[in-house]
Amino acid sequence: MRFKRRVAITGLGAISALGTGNGITTGTGAVLDAMRTGRGGIGPITHFDASRLSVKIAAEVPGFSPEAHFDRRQLLMMDRVSQFAVVAAREAMAGIDRAAYQPSRCGVLMGASLGQTTIDASYHALYAENAARLPPLIIPRTMPNAPASLIAMEFGFTGACFATASACASSTHAIGLAGQMVQSGMLDLVICGGSDASLCLGYLKAWDGLRVLSQDTCRPFSRDRSGLVIGEGAGVLVLEAWDQARARGASVQAEFLGFGMNADAGDLTAPSAQGAAAAIQAALDDAGLAPPAVDYVNAHGTGTRLNDRTETQALHHVFGRHAVRLAVSSSKSMHGHCLNAAGGIEAVVTALALRDGLVPPTLGHREADPECDLDYVPNVGRRAPIGVALSNSFAFGGLNAVLVFGHAP
């Protein structure tokens, strides 16, 4: 790419276990409050009977009422995952004048997410209740591009619209590709990120089988960490051409600087320090930055023994002596591992950290691990100026994606 336009992040939207404020438009405010206060959203599962699960905790979105956001006809077409996506997109687009842009120059890129709650209910009806027929709208409710398509319909955007599928790096890939599309001039504005609503019996029973879930809470990088905690929600950003955003007087939250991605081409589930390091370096190269320019890393930080150790090794490899001066935290300790939405929610957290000079904490950190020897901002966030930040996503399948954001001057 010979010429790159600057890219502004002008909108942020979130739905998470950290709360939805008044239930309508303040999901990002709840995330920021949790970052300030060190409040987490992990707790007992209440949305369904979890007695058949060996792990009975999750990071559920509290107090979300679909009827507060959509009419009955809309809800017939929308799984919970699409509801989250559209509500977060509305928050991100609040205050942005759509008339300032041509619809064909605006797009939507979202991480691919199946309508798991619809699938679970349908399979139960078919196999447990011997239903003779199923509702006719199951396919459009569950297709992985439904969140992206419904957002495009919500705002009338007719430019590129698709979903990226790379497990828990899906949202990060969507944001990175969206940034590149704006940089290249292909689009002027993109709504991007991801959503996930997989807290249902069938899907969590499958995660039970992997034996990577924690029984109590998520403790990334702590010596006594015991696994990850599944969450749900959505994280959405609006990326715009910098000059156009400034010309219309937009409030810029942060700047998209670069993106790196690669594949380990190794193990299907075990992470690779070499692959992660290469993706981080690729992102820095794309941004034209040297490692010492980075102040903060929002780590993938799942809370599993192997992942946290491997990510620490990757950071040491890329940053060398500067690694010990980095602030590194995992916001999954607050909002859980939101799977296909993880990169979107964590990108929102990273943008807020840059905007407000607030390093979010890693909750649950109780004991230093010799193999995880960086500054993980244990339990209490801190005020600090942040000029450049990374957001890491390292997914099953060996798919790595890293975003570089900067403080908006």
The closest alpha carbon to 216, from 364, 379, 61, 17, belongs to: 364
Report whether pLDDT(1) > 60.
no
| Residue 124 among the catalytic residues | no
DSSP, collapsed to helix, strand or coil, labels residue 301 as coil
Q: What is the pLDDT of residue 25?
A: 46
Q: Report if residue 225 sits inside a domain.
A: yes
| Range with lowest mean pLDDT among 13-22, 174-183, 269-278, 398-407 | 13-22
Q: Within the chain, what is the greatest distance between any pair of CA atoms?
A: 65
Q: What is the pLDDT of residue 23?
A: 45
pLDDT digits (tens, 9 = 90+) for 248-298: 999 999 999 999 999 999 999 999 999 999 999 999 999 999 999 999 999
Mean per-residue pLDDT, 170-188: 98
Same domain flag for 243 and 297: no
DSSP structure class, residue 339: G
Same domain flag for 317 and 285: yes
Same domain flag for 31 and 131: yes
Q: Report if residue 269 sits inside a domain.
A: yes
pLDDT digits (tens, 9 = 90+) for 130-162: 999 999 999 999 999 999 999 999 999 999 999
The closest alpha carbon to 405, from 248, 275, 233, 239, belongs to: 239
Same domain flag for 230 and 297: no
Out of 337, 338, 365, 407, the active site residue is: 337
| Residue 300 among the catalytic residues | yes
CB 215 within 8 A of CB 55: yes
The phi, psi pair for 136, rounded to 5°, reads: -75, -10
Same domain flag for 261 and 363: yes
Mean per-residue pLDDT, 111-125: 97
Q: Report if residue 304 sits inside a domain.
A: yes
pLDDT digits (tens, 9 = 90+) for 376-391: 999 999 999 999 999 9
Q: What is the pLDDT of residue 21?
A: 53
Q: What is the pLDDT of residue 24?
A: 42
Mean per-residue pLDDT, 323-342: 98
DSSP, collapsed to helix, strand or coil, labels residue 78 as coil
Q: Report if residue 298 sits inside a domain.
A: yes
The pTM of this model reads 0.97
Mean per-residue pLDDT, 326-339: 98
What's the chain's average pLDDT? 96
Q: Report if residue 2 sits inside a domain.
A: no
Mean per-residue pLDDT, 323-349: 98
Domain region containing 346: 256-406
What's the CATH code of the domain at 68?
3.40.47.10
Q: What is the pLDDT of residue 360?
A: 98
Which of 247, 278, 295 corresponds to the end of one domain?
Answer: 247
Same domain flag for 186 and 270: no
Same domain flag for 183 and 273: no
Q: What percent of the chain has pLDDT over 90?
A: 96
Q: Report if residue 3 sits inside a domain.
A: no
Q: What is the pLDDT of residue 99?
A: 86
Give the confidence band of 2 by pLDDT, cuts at 50, 70, 90.
low
Same domain flag for 41 and 169: yes
Q: Report if residue 284 sits inside a domain.
A: yes
DSSP labels, 121-154: HHHIIIIIS--S---TTHHHHH-TTHHHHHHHHH
Same domain flag for 329 and 295: yes
Q: What is the pLDDT of residue 409?
A: 86
Q: What is the pLDDT of residue 26?
A: 65
Q: What is the pLDDT of residue 98?
A: 85
Out of 300, 335, 365, 407, the active site residue is: 300
Same domain flag for 222 and 282: no
Residue 214, amino acid: S
CA dihedral 373, 321, 176, 379 (to 10 degrees): 30
Q: Report if residue 260 sits inside a domain.
A: yes
Q: What is the pLDDT of residue 97?
A: 87
Q: Which residues of 363-394 are buried (b: 16+ CB within 10 A; e: fewer)?
A: bbbeeebeebebbbbbeebeeeebebbbbbbb
DSSP structure class, residue 388: E
Same domain flag for 176 and 276: no
Out of 168, 200, 218, 372, the active site residue is: 168
Sequence-distant (6+) residues with CB within 8 A of 289 are 257, 258, 388, 404
| Residue 337 among the catalytic residues | yes
Q: Tokens 């670069």 label which residue?
A: 258
The number of distinct structural domains making up the chain is: 2
Which of 247, 271, 292 corresponds to the end of one domain?
Answer: 247
Going by DSSP bridges, is the β-strand pair 327-329/399-406 parallel, antiparallel, or unpaired?
unpaired
Helices (H) then strands (E): counts for the chain: 13, 14
Which of 197, 223, 247 corresponds to the end of one domain?
Answer: 247
Same domain flag for 240 and 354: no
Going by DSSP bridges, is the β-strand pair 7-15/254-263 parallel, antiparallel, or unpaired?
antiparallel
pLDDT digits (tens, 9 = 90+) for 32-63: 999 999 999 999 999 999 999 999 999 999 99
Strand partners, 375: 327
